[in-house]
Structure 1
Amino acid sequence: MAALLAAALAVTGCTAAEPGAAPRAEDARPTVISVTDGDVDLAILGEVYARVLTSGGYDVQLEIHSAQDPVSSADRLLAGEADFIVGCTGELLADFNPAGAEEIIDQWPELEEEGVGGFVVYDELIASLPSRLSATDPSSATSCDDAAEEQGLTQQVVPIFGATLFDREQREALTGITRLITTADLEDMEEAAEETGSVVEAVDEWVLDNEARSGGAFEDDREDVSYLYTP
């Protein structure tokens, strides 16, 4: 795992693609990660993945949009305005496939009793993505408390991104990072962000604590992340 995370995310230039993939028009611009500020956890996760990608050589812009913005991160990804988003499986399923989410909600008590609810939500989300999008395996970490309360569905953290943005080894490395993050990590970072008033400082502390476990996936590249805040 250490060797994989240290090497697989290293890239030449701004982006990487599967062998034989056509060059993308957006290669000239930064890789855009889009999150909303409605849930501090998502802003924290956006910062974590921005660090991972910049450590791998990507030029990253982290865009943080207001929760009141009617355009969701999923909409921006579908429109090609973003390359990478981070969200929660149940909420993302409702964005990409509202009918599929409602169907699972109707079946939820039975699925939970069978212990397969989280798997069903994730599998339906992946099946709902257009072929030009991809995702890692989900994290054991859960977030999006408001959506969890409203929907009742499992809300496991998962990033979604353009299918040609990473090759197979890079996706496996991102899955390793996704699995590294726990609910307790998010709770600790959220508490630190509230105490310091800074998501960046909260992530700084988590990166220091997890540098060895990440297999070298983090470097001191915070200054290489550009930020765009939309009120």
Structure 2
Amino acid sequence: MPRSARTYTTSAVAVALGTAAAFAMAACSPSAGGQRSDDFVIAVAPDSVEQAILGEIYRVLLESVGRPSTVEVVDKATTDPAVELVLSGQADMAIACTGTLLSQIDPQLAEEAAADIAEDDSAGDLNDNSISETTYEYAVGSFPGNVMTVDPSPAQGCAAEGQEPGEGSLPTNIIPVFNKTELNRGQVNRLNFVNRVLSTEDLNAMIEEVERGETVRNVVAEWMLQRTKITVDTQSEDEGDTGESDNVIEQPPM
């Protein structure tokens, strides 16, 4: 069953990410006044465990294909469209959901898309997959030229409080929005792969594990092993027992 929408405090997300990782992100976050590192920066909202999990999935995947990456809590990720976060240089990647993003960047087109989908759906011309694909195409068609995404995930997210993912007038399939000049074709292909194997059920299960007190890093490492065969050493000798290592010790071929 889809989970109900939840909200989280900044401190709860910090604990979920792991204390050391949260301090590291705060130290180099643009909102903290520090200079960004040369890593590929993935922005997550401070009040979203869902985004913390997704950001960590994308970070581990990119690390596994040779692109050093970091997850940073960015305050404006709560309110600003993912496209704007990337265009403004606050991050190299931000997390979005198709229908939600379309409503943010082109509200009129979102209304037209919802009306078209409702009309075609009532006529029996659409199924769930084609509705999701249509919404995705509307959203991507509104992107400026220097940002891009990959295929939409089957997983839906970004639910408003009191709603469940995908409950609104438009589907909300998860997509990472990123600066197209920062990743090569192989990295984009692998990012596409990991986005496609994520399901709403898997995401719900990971959120529940974090709610029970497990760290995002450990939860994601287990999921990555099961779904992608990427193995992450979460307790390397270099980092002691903090579990803050992101050393990839095995990965599938490109």
1:196 counterpart letter in structure 2: G
Aligned to 1:107: 116
- Report which stretch shifted further, 53-62 or 170-179: 53-62
How big is the shift at 1:71? 3.8
The one of 159, 162, 174 equivalent to 2:176 is 159
Asked if 1:183 is matched to 2:200, the reply is yes
| Cα gap change, 1:70 to 1:42, in 2 (>3 Å) | closer
* Aligned counterparts of 2:60 and 2:133: Cα–Cα separation in 1: 28
Counterparts of 2:50 and 2:167, CA distance in 1? 17
Q: Aligned in 2, Cα 1:68/1:47: closer, same or farther, shift over 3 Å? A: closer
User: In the alignment, which residue of structure 2 is the partner of 1:209?
Assistant: 226
- By relative contact order (CA 8 Å, sep 6+), the higher-ranking structure is 1
Q: Which amino acid aligns with 2:189?
A: E
Q: CA deviation at 1:87?
A: 1.7
Indicate the RMSD between aligned Cα atoms, in angstroms: 2.8
Distance apart, 1:37 and its partner CA: 3.9
For residues 109 and 184 of structure 1, the distance between their equivalents in structure 2, rounded to whole angstroms, comes to: 26
Q: How far off its partner does 1:202 sit?
A: 2.1
Indicate the structure (1 or 2) with the bigger Cα radius of gyration: 2
Cα distance in 2 between the residues matched to 1:168 and 1:58: 12
Q: Is it true that 1:131 corresponds to 2:131 in the alignment?
A: no
Deviation at 1:40, TM superposition (A): 2.5
User: Which runs of 5 or more structure 2 residues have no equivalent in the other structure?
Assistant: 1-35, 235-243, 248-254
1:88 to 97, 118, 141: 97
SS in 2 for 1:223: coil
Q: Say whether residues 1:119 and 2:128 are aligned partners.
A: no
Choose which of 207, 218, 233 in structure 2 pairs with 1:220.
233
> Is the aligned partner of 1:174 residue 2:191?
yes
TM-score (norm 2): 0.67
Give me the identity figure in percent.
Answer: 30
Whole-Å Cα distance in 1 between the matches of residues 171 and 111 of structure 2?
Answer: 13
Check whether the contact 1:32–1:61 (CA below 8 A) recurs between aligned residues: yes
TM-score, length-scaled by structure 1: 0.74
The change in CA–CA distance for 1:39 and 1:104 in structure 2 (over 3 A counts) is farther
Q: Which structure 1 segments of 5+ residues have no match?
A: 1-26, 226-231
2:87 is aligned with 1:78: yes
Deviation of 1:163 after TM superposition, in Å, equals 1.2
Q: 1:61 aligns with which of 53, 62, 70?
A: 70
